[in-house]
Amino acid sequence: MKKSDKPIIVEHTFNVSLETLWNAITQLKEMQKWYFENIPAFEPKVGFKTQFNIQNEGRNFLHLWEVTEAVPLKIIKYNWNYMGYSGDSFVAFELFKEGDLIHLKLTHTITKSFPDDVPEFKRESCVAGWTFFINERLKDYLEKSNM
């Protein structure tokens, strides 16, 4: 993922309440069910920091997050980088009411390029990951919890 790349954008419209979707993307117990199960803590408050490790193919990716914007029921944005790797980015989840539906727009913006030699940092990998999280994991979680 390069600073010169366009932001990664993944959008999906959900048939749930604004509060339900907001809680799914900001409440720890819910985030652990569809996002990363080992997030130790999360608060939708500017300045809140958390970190957690994900292992893949013998490599550790210590995620470092800091909330930079939080407007309840509208947007949660956090700085996202990894300890031990160059690169820096921001991820924003924006919510829009469309009649009885709620539209989610996820935007991942790279502010400092990530290493070229790490497969997980390739743009294709990131696009696939966000598409999986939003269009499959979050969608499935909301459908099951709304039954």
Contact 89, 83 (CB under 8 A): no
pLDDT digits (tens, 9 = 90+) for 42-58: 999 999 999 999 888 88
Torsion, Cα 132 136 142 146, to 10 degrees, reads -170
Distance of alpha carbon 81 from alpha carbon 97, whole angstroms: 30
Q: Residue 119's pLDDT is what?
A: 84
pLDDT digits (tens, 9 = 90+) for 92-136: 999 999 999 999 999 999 999 999 888 888 999 999 999 999 999
Q: Which residues pair with 50 in a beta bridge?
A: 65
Domains of the chain: 8-145 (3.30.530.20)
